[in-house]
A and B are shown apart, each in its own frame.
Chain A
Amino acid sequence: MTADLDRIWRDEWGRLLALLVGQFRRLDLAEDALADAFEAAARTWPRDGIPANPAAWLLTTARRRTLDRLRAEAMAARKEPLLVVDARTQEEAQRAMADPGDGPAALTDERLRLVFLCAHPALAPEAAAALTLRLVLGVSTADLARLFLVAEPTMAARLTRARKKLAVAGVPFALPSAQRLAERVDVVATVAYLAFTAGYAPGSGPDVVRAELAGEAIRLTRLLRTLISPYDNQHRSATAHLDALLALMLLQHSRRDARVDANGALVLLPDQDRSRWHGDEIDEALTLLGPFTEAPSPHDRRTTEVLLQALVAAEHAVASSAALTDWRRIAGLYAVLEERAPSPAVRLARAVAVAEADGPQAGLVLLEDLDESLPHSHRLPAIRAELLCRAGRGVEAEAAYQRAISLCANEAERTHLIARLAELDSGQPRGR
Chain B
Amino acid sequence: MKYLVLIAYRPGGWEEASDSQRAEWMDDHNRFHATVGSNIVAGEALAGPDAATTLRHKDGQPTLTDGPFAETAEMIGGFYLLEAPDLDTVTGWCEILPKGYSLEIRPCISMDMSA
Q: Please, how many angstroms separate the alpha-carbon atoms of A86 and B86 in the complex?
A: 10
Does A77 count as interface, using CB distance less than 8 angstroms?
A: yes
Contact with A along B79-115 (1 / 0, CB 8 A): 0000011111010000000000000010101001001
> Are A170 and B107 interface neighbours, CB within 8 A?
yes
Interface of A, secondary structure class, is: loop
Nearest CB of chain B from residue A178's CB, rounded to whole Å: 13
Does A72 count as interface, using CB distance less than 8 angstroms?
A: no
Q: Please, how many angstroms separate the alpha-carbon atoms of A122 and B104 in the complex?
A: 12
Residue of A79, A86, A122, A169 contacting most chain B CB atoms (<10 Å): A169
Chain A residues, Cβ within 8 Å of B112: 79
> Are B86 and A170 interface neighbours, CB within 8 A?
yes
Does B1 count as interface, using CB distance less than 8 angstroms?
A: yes
> Are A170 and B1 interface neighbours, CB within 8 A?
yes
Does A168 count as interface, using CB distance less than 8 angstroms?
A: yes
Chain A residues, Cβ within 8 Å of B84: 170
Chain A residues, Cβ within 8 Å of B85: 84, 86, 170, 172
> Are B87 and A79 interface neighbours, CB within 8 A?
no
Chain A residues, Cβ within 8 Å of B88: 171-172, 174, 176, 180
State how many residues of chain B have any CB contact under 8 Å with chain A: 13
Closest chain B residue to A81, Cβ basis? B109
Contact with B along A165-188 (1 / 0, CB 8 A): 000111110101000100000000
Q: Please, how many angstroms separate the alpha-carbon atoms of A84 and B88 in the complex?
A: 11
> Are A170 and B115 interface neighbours, CB within 8 A?
no
Chain B residues, Cβ within 8 Å of A79: 112, 115
Which range contains the number of A residues in contact with the other chain?
A: 10 to 19
> Are A168 and B107 interface neighbours, CB within 8 A?
yes
Chain B residues, Cβ within 8 Å of A180: 88
Contact with B along A59-98 (1 / 0, CB 8 A): 0000000000000000001010000101000000000000
> Are A172 and B87 interface neighbours, CB within 8 A?
yes
Nearest CB of chain B from residue A80's CB, rounded to whole Å: 12
> Are A171 and B87 interface neighbours, CB within 8 A?
yes
**A-contacting residues, B20-49, CB 8 Å:** none
Q: Please, how many angstroms separate the alpha-carbon atoms of A77 and B88 in the complex?
A: 30
Closest chain A residue to B112, Cβ basis? A79
Chain B residues, Cβ within 8 Å of A172: 85-88
Closest chain B residue to A184, Cβ basis? B88
Residue of A170, A171, A176, A180 contacting most chain B CB atoms (<10 Å): A170
Chain A residues, Cβ within 8 Å of B115: 77, 79
Q: Please, how many angstroms separate the alpha-carbon atoms of A84 and B105 in the complex?
A: 16
Nearest CB of chain A from residue B109's CB, rounded to whole Å: 8
Closest chain B residue to A122, Cβ basis? B87
Nearest CB of chain A from residue B63's CB, rounded to whole Å: 32
Q: Please, how many angstroms separate the alpha-carbon atoms of A168 and B3 in the complex?
A: 11
Chain B residues, Cβ within 8 Å of A169: 87, 105, 107
Q: Please, how many angstroms separate the alpha-carbon atoms of A171 and B115 in the complex?
A: 25
Nearest CB of chain A from residue B1's CB, rounded to whole Å: 6
Nearest CB of chain B from residue A166's CB, rounded to whole Å: 9
Closest chain B residue to A121, Cβ basis? B91
Nearest CB of chain B from residue A85's CB, rounded to whole Å: 10
Q: Please, how many angstroms separate the alpha-carbon atoms of A79 and B109 in the complex?
A: 12
Nearest CB of chain B from residue A307's CB, rounded to whole Å: 28
Q: A77-B115, A169-B87 are in contact. List 8 more A-B contacts (CB 8 A).
A: A84-B1, A84-B86, A86-B85, A122-B87, A169-B105, A170-B85, A170-B107, A172-B88
Measuring CB to CB, which residues of chain A are less than 8 angstroms from any residue of chain B? 77, 79, 84, 86, 122, 168-172, 174, 176, 180
6 A-B pairs within 8 Å (CB atoms) are namely A122-B87, A168-B107, A170-B85, A171-B87, A172-B85, A174-B88
Measuring CB to CB, which residues of chain B are less than 8 angstroms from any residue of chain A? 1, 3, 84-88, 90, 105, 107, 109, 112, 115
